[in-house]
Chain A
Amino acid sequence: MGDLSSLIFWSGLHGVLFPQLALHIPDGFLSLPVSLVTWVMAIALIATALGRVKGEHQERTVPLMGVCAAFIFAAQMINFPIPGGTSGHLLGGTLAGVLLGPWAGTLVMTVVFIVQAALFQDGGLTVLGANIFNMGLIGTFGGYYLYKALRSTLGFNSWRGMSIAVAIASWTSVVLASVATALQLAISGTVSLTVALIAMLGWHILIGIGEAIITLIATSYVWRVRPDLLYDPPQRSPLPRPLVQR
């Protein structure tokens, strides 16, 4: 790819990766204590996730996690219209959790954040720990367990239970991640708590709706076509309705 075309592509990529009030905090926004605490938690999370995934997938770990991380990266670049007029893009935490399980999903999201911070400066280096904490731990890990709890109560093997669980978990995970981001910004003294909460919540309650819809459609596709690829595959007949409406 030539210089010019790669640059055009590259800047286009950035326009898409950077929505207003994104969850990726840049460098210089968080204070030393907040950075330090979240880094320690993030490193512990990465170490545990690496160990768990290695145990689960053995020598398939590298190729499988690599392509899945590239998949999430590519999926995050797709802009889609949100009901209400704006457009947003996927965070993909709950999607990764539902498809790959909590540990592999968290690892994949972490890898995506590392690449975004190190190569694309989408989210800073000193605040990488906070970003991993917000979107990896809360968004993916929290999202997955919320989804699992909801699906177990609503009916593990029915599409109804699955769909409600996926929609609620993906919306909640985005909103909770935005609350965590607002709290970190406020504790660091960058923005006052009320402003941070109003700005972050107001925007992400909307973004969360888009996230829920897209996650729901994507999982429904996998549920109908290859339910065995889901981390928690359903036990009974996997075809609730035909793929093509007649």
Chain B
Amino acid sequence: MLLHIGAFQLDVNSQGVSSWHRLAPRTRVLCAILFVFATALTPNARWETWLVYGGGLMSLIVSSRATLSILLKRVAIESSFIGVVLLGTLFREGGTVLWQWGWLQITSEGLVILGSVTVRALLCLLMLNFLVLTTSISALLHALATLKMPPLLIAILASMYRYIGVLIEEFATMRRAAASRNLLNSPRGQRLVLGNMMGSLFIRTYERGERVHYAMLSRGYTGLPCVTEDFQRRSQDIWAIVSLILLLLLGQVVYFL
């Protein structure tokens, strides 16, 4: 799969040299999925478990020499949602009351939930961002295909990824045209122009889809996306999965010690 028309480069560190980079993309995706599911589905207040997971993830990130500044910046931007839980913490009952002001109160139980949800979300964000940072998108899609995701869905995903950049560019062009004609002055005008823009972009998109379809047909497309299966099982991939599972189990066991 060649996805060279992508508009943004997410995989800044995909050309690195480390044992993580030497793993097949399929193994990396599998590791990330296992890690995220294990982390996100661990019940509240299992701090030791997350300490083990976080330690494992940190050593992985450091050993693969990913650009930490980019990784942390992305995670920071994506962490704005924590406000929801923060808000919920202020109104929660149960446990001992640590702080109270009118209706607002902070209880020990509220803090535990806030901490647990934050740690879980941060660990998952770190893992997934690390995966996207170190693996190119074509490799990711190919890995998903070898992991038995429906080929039709993969083909749609790939085709969408190709055109995101094109459509964002087209939107920006229309917006510039509207702004240069002083059409975006009042909020009402903005809504009208942006709404019409979306309608017109949909018509262009639909027509583009038909043109793309004819172009694909003329190149011998028969309706079935082809997925090349060139994955071979290597010992390092098996070792990676096994050691990850051991780490995940260790994390769960530590809690009961």
Task: Give the B-binding residues of A (Cβ under 8 A).
Answer: 1, 3, 6-7, 9-11, 13-15, 18, 20-22, 24, 26-32, 35, 46-47, 50, 54, 58-71, 73-75, 77-78, 80-81, 83, 90, 95, 99, 107, 111-112, 114-115, 118-119, 121-122, 124-127, 185, 189-192, 194-196, 199, 213-222, 225-226, 229
Contact = CB atoms under 8 A, between A and B. Distances in A.
B152 A62 contact: yes
A192 B201 contact: no
A28 B88 contact: no
A178 B190 CA distance: 26
B84 A66 contact: no
Nearest to B205: A71
Which of A14, A59, A71 is most buried by chain B, counting CB atoms within 10 A of its CB? A71
Nearest to A199: B87
Interface in B21-69: 33, 36-37, 39-41, 43-44
Contact of A63 (B77, B161, B213): B213
Nearest to B225: A62
Nearest to A65: B156
Interface stretch (B8-16, B228-236, B239-247, B249-257): B8-16
Contacts of A14: 74, 77-78
Nearest to A117: B128
B19 interface: no
Interface in B209-229: 209-210, 212-213, 216-217, 221-223, 225
The B interface, classified by DSSP as helix, strand, loop or mixed, is helix
B36 A119 contact: no
A29 B117 contact: yes
B181 interface: no
A47 B153 CA distance: 10
Interface in B140-180: 140, 150, 152-153, 155-164, 166-168, 170-171
A192 B80 contact: no
Nearest to A80: B194
A222 B202 contact: yes
B209 A27 contact: no
Contact of B87 (A46, A74, A99, A195): A195
Contacts of A15: 77
Contacts of B206: 64, 67-68, 229
B191 A217 contact: yes
B162 A66 contact: yes
A27 B222 contact: no
Contacts of A75: 171, 198, 201
A107 to B, nearest CB: 8
Contact of B199 (A24, A80, A225): A225
A27 B167 contact: no
A20 B80 contact: yes
A141 B225 CA distance: 27
B195 A68 contact: no
A246 to B, nearest CB: 17
Contacts of A220: 195, 199
A69 B156 contact: yes
A65 B159 contact: yes
Contacts of A118: 128, 132, 140
Contacts of A185: 84, 88
Contacts of B106: none
B160 A66 contact: yes
18 contacts: A21-B84, A27-B36, A27-B39, A27-B40, A29-B117, A46-B153, A58-B223, A59-B222, A63-B210, A66-B162, A67-B209, A124-B40, A127-B40, A185-B88, A192-B92, A195-B91, A218-B198, A222-B203
Contacts of B7: 1, 9
Contacts of B116: 28
Contacts of A199: 84, 87-88
Contacts of B36: 27, 124-126
Nearest to A11: B77
Contacts of A191: 84-85, 87-88
B205 A70 contact: yes
A28 B120 CA distance: 5
Contacts of A125: 33, 36-37, 40, 124, 128
